[in-house]
């Protein structure tokens, strides 16, 4: 790419060219309009003057005869800025006037029309040059012909002036346009080249690099700010990926090491078939645990990459909550607790039922694991309320809660607060809830209720609270394929 095409291909060049074109056409149009109107106006004036003089002279002729006309013309012709006059007799001999030369045919056609002619003026001070004039010929009684006209010198000079102005104007516009283009493209190209260079550095691996923001809040600044925000997000994602990788390494290493130890111990201390069986069964348990972690990770990754709105249908929240409660009621009772359910009838939301159920299950399981109060029995409250166009689905316990400083951290993958490390679990439950909430355009929020913790997610309210045709299957369908 040559230097020239590099410049001509830029947006600045194309825009400059376009503006230049539009501006030139508009200015030319304006000047043309002014010129035309002025010309028209001046011609009008000429016509009026000529007509008035002709009328005056013919009146004089009627009252005083040829002599009076000759005298009047002779007197008027002496004025330097006078009109043009010529009076001839029937033979075409000039009697009086200030015109030296004129196309003879003008006098012969005395039809009263106004016409443009070339003529030479009479007089000692005037050089022998051809001028232009608008003239009119009038036939008087007795074969006399009277010609009156106005010189067009002023009008022509004005046209020339306008023409010159237009030329100067056009040159000015082109020069200004080129200057603007050079300035803009140099400036713009410089910024763009800078940005490209920085982007290349960043692409080459230095993710901490950022585009310069000049602080003058122009479009480049806005672009730079946005790109920087994007880079920040990418860096954060990379960082969290690295964290997850580290966490996976750590969290998978523990059960894997345990598994290996069990196998080694069993091999070393062979205690007959029963011993082996026992060892193998615990190895199987460890394997199960590992599988669960993998599945949870895959599932979270999958939810995070799902398109919003995919596999969503209007669902009755009450039915959904009651079914989950039905599943968990016995477990909660065994732990000496009970459910308190507060879901109003006919609350519908557009959601992926399977994922919302799982999110709810994860929150309930967390309440079961960490929500026990020091004294008294565990109460898990499930509630769904409409709140400003969103439905807030929440699970509360009456346990110790989570310190506010930790409330954001527990939503991350593999984060388990120190007190909870002894409980079985993958540390992925809340990450999944968070991903599900995000998929539904909501957020996972915690609130300490002292006592207790409320975890809530917000969902979209289904438009038009009816849609009773989307009830859940009654359980006779083995595969559970949604009817949608």
Partner 1 sequence: MLRILVIEDDPEAAGYLVKGLSELGHTADKAGDGETGLQMALDSRYDILIVDRMLPRLDGLSVIQQLRQAANHTPVLILSALGQVDDRVKGLKAGGDDYLPKPYAFTELQARVEALARRPKSASQVETTYTVGNLTLDRMAHSCKRGDVEIPLQPREFRLLEYLMQNAGQVVTRTMLLENVWEYHFDPQTNVIDVHISRLRSKIDKGFDTPLLHTIRGAGYTIRDTAH
Residues that bind partner 1 (CB under 8 A): 281, 284-285, 287-288, 291-292, 294-295, 298-299, 302-303, 306, 310-311, 323, 326-328, 330-331, 334, 352, 354-355, 357-358, 361-362, 365, 368-369, 424-426, 429, 472-473, 475, 477-482
| Residue 461 per-residue DSSP state | B
Q: Which is nearer to partner 1, 352 or 454 (CB)?
A: 352
Q: Which of 339, 255, 246, 252 is nearest to 294 (CA)?
A: 252
* Distance of closest approach, residue 241 Cβ to partner 1, in angstroms: 20
* Distance of closest approach, residue 1 Cβ to partner 1, in angstroms: 45
Contacts of residue 454, defined as CB under 8 A and 6 or more positions apart, other chains included, come to 394, 395, 396, 446, 447
CA dihedral 347, 351, 352, 355 (to 10 degrees): -70
Q: Which is nearer to partner 1, 126 or 301 (CB)?
A: 301
Contact call for residues 372 and 365 (beta carbons, < 8 A): no
What are the structure tokens assigned to 165, written together?
A: 């102005």
* Distance of closest approach, residue 368 Cβ to partner 1, in angstroms: 6
Q: Which is nearer to partner 1, 358 or 456 (CB)?
A: 358
Q: Which is nearer to partner 1, 80 or 475 (CB)?
A: 475
* Distance of closest approach, residue 222 Cβ to partner 1, in angstroms: 38
Contact call for residues 441 and 430 (beta carbons, < 8 A): no
Q: Which is nearer to partner 1, 314 or 429 (CB)?
A: 429
Contact call for residues 29 and 21 (beta carbons, < 8 A): no
* Distance of closest approach, residue 349 Cβ to partner 1, in angstroms: 17
* Distance of closest approach, residue 477 Cβ to partner 1, in angstroms: 8
**Angle, helix 153-203 to helix 11-77, in steps of 10 degrees:** 170
* Distance of closest approach, residue 242 Cβ to partner 1, in angstroms: 24
Q: What is the full DSSP assignment across 354-387?
A: HHHHHHHHHHHHHHHHH---SSS--EEEEEEEEE
Q: How far is CA 327 from CA 98, 118, 240, 289, 331, in A?
A: 122, 112, 35, 22, 8
Q: Which is nearer to partner 1, 341 or 361 (CB)?
A: 361
Q: Which is nearer to partner 1, 55 or 473 (CB)?
A: 473
Main-chain dihedrals φ then ψ at residue 134, nearest 5 degrees: -105, 125
* Distance of closest approach, residue 316 Cβ to partner 1, in angstroms: 15
| One-letter-per-residue 3-state SS of 169-194 | HHHHHHHHHHHHHHHHHHHHHHHHHH
In which region does residue 473 sit, left (phi positive, over 0), alpha (psi from -120 to 50) or beta (all else)?
A: beta
Going by their DSSP bridges, the two strands 444-448 and 114-121 should be labelled as unpaired
Separation of alpha carbons 339 and 326, rounded Å: 10
* Distance of closest approach, residue 302 Cβ to partner 1, in angstroms: 5
* Distance of closest approach, residue 436 Cβ to partner 1, in angstroms: 11
Q: Which is nearer to partner 1, 14 or 302 (CB)?
A: 302
Q: Which residue has the tokens 């809660």?
A: 401
Q: Which is nearer to partner 1, 50 or 437 (CB)?
A: 437
Q: Which is nearer to partner 1, 238 or 417 (CB)?
A: 417
**Bond into 451 cis (ω within 30):** yes
Q: Which is nearer to partner 1, 75 or 473 (CB)?
A: 473
Contacts of residue 178, defined as CB under 8 A and 6 or more positions apart, other chains included, come to 16
Compute the C-alpha angle 308/313/316, nearest 5°: 125
* Distance of closest approach, residue 25 Cβ to partner 1, in angstroms: 59
Separation of alpha carbons 407 and 449, rounded Å: 13
């Amino acid at each position: 790419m040559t230097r020239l095409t590099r410049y001509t291909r830029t947006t600045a060049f194309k825009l400059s060219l376009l503006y230049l074109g539009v501006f030139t056409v508009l200015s030319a149009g304006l000047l043309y309009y002014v010129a035309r109107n002025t010309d028209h106006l001046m011609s009008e004036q000429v016509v009026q003057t000529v007509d008035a003089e002709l009328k005056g002279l013919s009146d004089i002729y009627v009252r005083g005869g040829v002599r009076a006309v000759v005298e009047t013309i002779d007197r008027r012709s002496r004025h330097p800025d006078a009109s043009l006059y010529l009076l001839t007799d029937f033979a075409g001999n000039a009697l009086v006037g200030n015109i030296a030369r004129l196309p003879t045919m003008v006098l012969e056609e005395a039809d009263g029309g106004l016409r443009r002619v070339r003529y030479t003026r009479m007089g000692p001070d005037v050089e022998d040059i051809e001028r232009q004039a608008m003239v009119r010929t009038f036939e008087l009684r007795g074969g006399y012909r009277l010609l009156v006209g106005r010189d067009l010198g002023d009008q022509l000079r004005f046209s020339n002036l306008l023409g010159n102005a237009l030329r100067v104007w056009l040159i000015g516009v082109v020069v200004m346009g080129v200057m603007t283009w050079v300035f803009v493209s140099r400036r713009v190209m410089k910024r763009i080249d800078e940005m490209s260079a920085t982007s290349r550095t960043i692409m080459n691996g230095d993710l901490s690099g950022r585009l310069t923001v000049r602080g003058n809040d122009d479009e480049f600044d806005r672009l730079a700010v946005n790109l920087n925000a994007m880079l920040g997000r990418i860096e954060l994602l990379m960082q969290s990926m690295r964290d997850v990788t580290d966490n996976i390494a750590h969290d998978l290493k523990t059960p894997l090491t345990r598994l290996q130890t069990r196998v080694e111990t069993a091999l070393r201390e062979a205690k007959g078939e029963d011993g082996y069986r026992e060892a193998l069964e615990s190895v199987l348990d460890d394997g199960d645990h590992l599988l669960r972690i993998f599945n949870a990770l895959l599932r979270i990754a999958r939810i995070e990459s799902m398109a919003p709105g995919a596999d969503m249908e209007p669902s009755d929240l009450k039915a959904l909550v009651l079914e989950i409660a039905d599943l968990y009621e016995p477990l909660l009772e065994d732990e000496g607790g009970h459910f308190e359910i507060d879901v109003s009838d006919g609350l519908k939301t557009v959601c992926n039922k399977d994922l919302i159920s799982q999110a709810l299950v994860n929150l309930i399981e967390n309440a079961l694991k960490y929500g026990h109060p020091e004294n008294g029995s565990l109460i898990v409250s499930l509630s769904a309320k409409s709140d400003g166009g969103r439905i807030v689905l929440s699970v509360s316990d009456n346990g110790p809660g989570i310190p506010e400083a930790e409330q954001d951290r527990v939503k991350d993958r593999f984060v388990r607060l120190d007190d909870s490390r002894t409980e079985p679990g993958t540390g992925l439950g809340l990450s999944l809830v968070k991903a599900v909430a995000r998929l539904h355009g909501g957020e996972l929020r915690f609130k300490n209720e002292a006592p207790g913790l409320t975890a809530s997610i917000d969902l979209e309210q289904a438009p038009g609270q009816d849609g009773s045709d989307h009830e859940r299957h009654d359980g006779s369908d083995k595969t559970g394929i949604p009817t949608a």
